A and B are shown apart, each in its own frame.
Chain A
Amino acid sequence: MGYSLARQPRISGWQMSVLVFFAGSHINIVFTSRYLAASAGPDSWLSLLLGYAVAAGLIILAGNLSSRFPEKTFVEYSNTLAGSLVGRFISLSIALIFLGITAMQVRHVGHFIKSTLLINTPMEIVIVAMLLAVAYVLRHGLTTVTRLGELLFPIFIVSALFMMIISIPSLQFGRFTPLLSKGFLPVLKGGLVISSATLGYALPLFFAAFMLRPEESMSKGILGIVLTTTLTGSLLLFPIAIFGVAEASYRVYPFADVGRFIGLPGGILERIDVLLAFLVMMAMFVGLTIYFALVVMILARILGLKEPGLLALSLIPVVYFLSLRPGNFLVVEDWYKKLSVVGFAWLSVTIAFFLLLALIRKRV
C-alpha cells in the first residue's frame, strides 16, 4: 500500500498549481463574498486583487526559501535554520493552527450541507462521512491527493464556467461603483480577508520537497494563484455583482444563493442551486484533504513517523471533536476567521524570519 505522505510521492508542476488553486478556494467559495462585501463594499474587486497579490508575494518568498533547501521538508530545514527546539515549536504551532482551521472547515462543510441539502440528516453523520472520505484519500498518500485535485479540476472549471455564463444577464457591474468612496482602508480590510482565506500560498513551503522539480515550486505556485484569482476571484465577485453589497453581506452563503436567483430561459434546469452545491462540494472536499494532508505531514515529520497513514486515522476523532466544540454557527465563523488571520500572520512572519535566517547563514 502506498502510505506515503513521506518522501516517496512526486508532485508535478501542474499538480502543484492545482493544489494551490483548491487550497485557495475550498469552503471559502460559499461565504467569503459576504466578508468581502461587508469589509470592502463596492471596492471588493480591488481587495480581491490586493489579497491575491499579497498571496502571490508570499508564494515567491516561500518558493525562494524552499529552493534553498531542495530535498528537505519544512520541518527539517526549520530545525537546521532555527535550531531543533525553536524549529519544532514553529512547525508544531503551524500544524496546530492548520488543525484548528481544518476542524472549522469541517464544521463549515457540515453546516453548509445541513442547511442547504440534507436538512434532516444529523450534522455529525455528514462530518464523519466527510472525514472518513478524507482519511481514505490520505491513507493512500499525497499522490492520491494530488491526483484527486487534478481529476476534479476540469470538472470544476466546466461547472464554474457554465454557472458564470448563465449568470451574465443578472450581473450589474454598477454594483462596484463608486470607486474608493470610503478611502483605501476598506480595501485593505477586504484584502486581509482574501489573503487569510488563501492559505494556498503555504503549499510550496511544505510540498516543494515532494515535487519532481522543486525549483518549480515558486512559478507553479504563482500559476495556482493566478488560477485562483481569475476563477475563484470571479466566483466570489458574482454574488456581489448580482445581489449588491448590502444583500451579499447579509446572506450566509451568497454564492449558493446565486443558484436560487438565476434562472435559465424556459425554466430548464430549475435547480441550479444543486449544480452550485456540487461545485462547492468538490472544492470543499479537495481543499479539506489538502489541509488535512498538511497537518498530518508536519506532525508525522515532527514525530518521526515513516507511515503517517495511521496518524491520519487517529487525527479523525480529534478533528471531529474540535469541529463540534463551538456551540453554534456564529462561534464557528468567529473561530475560523481568527484562526485564518492568525495562520496568515504566523506563516508570513515565519517565512520572513526563516528567509532572513537563511540569508544570514549563507553570508556567515
Chain B
Amino acid sequence: MKKMLILGLLVFSLILSGCWDMIDVEKVGYVTGLVIQSSSEKNQLGQKDTSPDETNPGPELEEGEDYRLTMQIILPQNIAAKEGGGGGEKPVWVLSGTGKTIFEIMRGITNRTGRPLGISHLRTIILSEEIARKGIMEVMDYFTRRYDVGYQSDLFVAPSGLAGKIMEVQPEIEKINAIYLFDLIHQAVKVSKSAHIELGDLFMNLRDGTSFVIPRIVPGENEMLVAGGAVFKKDRMVGWLGESDLHGYHWVTGQMQGGMVTVGPFPCPDDPTKYAVLTYDITEAKRRIRPHVSSDGKVSFTVNISTEGNIGEIRDTCQLDQPFIEVAEKEVTRAIKEQVEHVLLKMQQELGADIFGFESELKKRYPGVAEMLDWNAEFPNVEVAVHVKVFIRRIGLAERQTPPPWSER
C-alpha cells in the first residue's frame, strides 16, 4: 500500500507540478481600448498594418469589407516609472492591423508584441461611423465568444474620419485615454449629456432586434468630448442624436440620472415687467409608458413623466413665493415636453427607430396586437401623448434675490 501511495505521489507530482494556465501578468499585453474601423479607413498611426494570413488568404472580401483594428496596450512598467516620478516613456502602446476577422487581427498583432494579448481589462470599444452604418452584429461576434471579455466595457461611435484619431489623443488628466474615456462617459451620464451602453446591454439589444443609442465620441487635440449618440436600428446606425435630443430620450426611457433644464426668460408672477431665467436641477425622474389599443385596432401610447428637483439658479429678482414656484414648474414642464416631443418626432419621422421601447411595452400588454403589427411601418404614425409633472422641492440655500443698496436696478 505504501508503495502505491509513493507511486501515486510521484505520478501526481509529475502531472500537477505546473499549470498550463499559469499567467505571468508581466508577460501579457493587456488591451484597454479598441477602435474598430473598416479597412478602407485611413490608418492614422503611420504604422505598417498587420496583413491577413498570406498562407491561407481564401477568397478576398470586397474593398473595405475587412476590419481595421487599433488597440491600446498598457505598459505597466512605464506607469510605475511615471508614478515614481521617473521616466518619460509612454504608458501605452498603440498598434493597428487589418484582417477579415477581429480574431485574425488580434492574433496577427501578437506577432509584433511578442506577448499574448489579454482583453480582460478592456474598458472601451470605439466603432467608426462607417462600421456602425454597415452593421455591427458580425463585429460583435468575437466578443460574445471570448471567455475573458468583461461585459462592463463601454461602447462609443466616432463620427466619420475621426475614429483613427482617438488613440492619438493625449489627455492632460489621465495618461491612458481608454481609462479617460471610461471616466468621461460615467461623468456625462450623471448629467444626462450622453447615452451610455455597456457590452452586455449591447448584446441583448442586438439579439432582441431593438433600437438603441451608443454615445458619440469626438476627439480633440488633448481632450475628447462625449455628447449625443448614434441611433441604431437593429444593428445598423441610422443617424445621430444631439445633446438636447438625448435629454428627451432619457426622459422617455427612464434613464434620466440627473442634469438640468434651463427655462426663461419668463415673466415674474408678482411683476410682469420683470423676467426670470431659472435652472432646474433634476434630482429624481420617473416615467411610465402605457400602450392603448382602440376598438378599431389603432395603437397609441401615453408617456407619464414625473420629476423632482431643486432651483439651481435664478437670474433676476422675482418674488420667490408659491406663485413663482408654480409658474416655474409650468415652464419646466413645457420645456421637458418640448424636449420629449422633439425627439419623438425625430425618431418617428426622420429615423424610424423605436429607441424608447414602445414595441416591447406593447408586446407585454397586448401580445396579440404586437404580433399582427409591422412595427417598422406602424411606429412613424403611432400617436404618443406626453404628460409631465414637475415638482420643485427645494430652493437652495438662499431666499429671494434682493437688489443690494448700491444697485440702481
Contact = CB atoms under 8 A, between A and B. Distances in A.
Interface of A: 115-122, 125, 174, 177-178, 181, 243-244, 246-247, 250-251, 257, 260-261, 263, 270
A119 B20 CA distance: 8
Contact of B208 (A178, A247, A257, A263): A247
A263 B152 contact: yes
Given A115-B147, A260-B150, A178 B21 contact: no
Contacts of B261: none
Interface of B: 15, 19-21, 144, 147, 149-152, 200, 203-204, 207-209, 360, 363-365, 367-368, 371
B20 A246 contact: no
A118 B21 contact: yes
A121 B21 contact: yes
B158 to A, nearest CB: 26
Nearest to B145: A252
Given A178-B367, A260-B151, A261-B151, A247 B20 contact: no
Contacts of B151: 257, 260-261
Chain A to chain B: the 10 pairs with minimum beta-carbon distance, closest first: A178-B367, A246-B207, A120-B20, A121-B20, A181-B367, A247-B207, A261-B200, A177-B364, A261-B151, A260-B151
A178 B363 contact: yes
B208 A244 contact: yes
Contacts, number: 53
Contacts of B368: 181
A178 B360 CA distance: 10
A81 B345 CA distance: 76
21 contacts: A115-B147, A117-B21, A118-B20, A119-B21, A120-B21, A121-B19, A121-B21, A125-B15, A174-B360, A174-B364, A177-B364, A178-B363, A181-B367, A243-B203, A243-B204, A244-B207, A246-B208, A247-B208, A257-B151, A261-B200, A263-B152
Per DSSP, chain B at the interface is helix
A178 B207 CA distance: 18
Contacts of A261: 151, 200
Contacts of B207: 243-244, 246-247, 250
A247 B204 CA distance: 6
Contacts of B15: 125
Contacts of B147: 115-116, 119
Contacts of A243: 203-204, 207
A317 to B, nearest CB: 16
B130 to A, nearest CB: 27
B357 to A, nearest CB: 10
Name which of B15, B19, B21, B209 has the most chain A CB atoms within 10 A of its CB: B21
Name which of A116, A117, A251, A260 has the most chain B CB atoms within 10 A of its CB: A260
Given A178-B364, A270-B150, 15 more contacts: A116-B147, A117-B21, A119-B21, A119-B147, A125-B15, A177-B364, A243-B207, A244-B204, A244-B207, A246-B204, A247-B203, A250-B144, A260-B200, A261-B151, A263-B152
Contacts of B364: 174, 177-178
Contacts of B209: 246
A312 B19 CA distance: 28
Nearest to B208: A246
B163 to A, nearest CB: 26
A159 to B, nearest CB: 20
Nearest to B16: A129
B149 A260 contact: yes
A316 B8 CA distance: 16
A120 B371 CA distance: 47
B254 to A, nearest CB: 12
A45 to B, nearest CB: 15
Contacts of B365: 178
A328 to B, nearest CB: 15
Contacts of A119: 21, 147
A251 B360 CA distance: 22
Contacts of B363: 177-178
A246 B137 CA distance: 14
Contacts of A263: 152
B371 A181 contact: yes
B141 to A, nearest CB: 11
Nearest to A181: B367
Contacts of B152: 263
B220 to A, nearest CB: 28
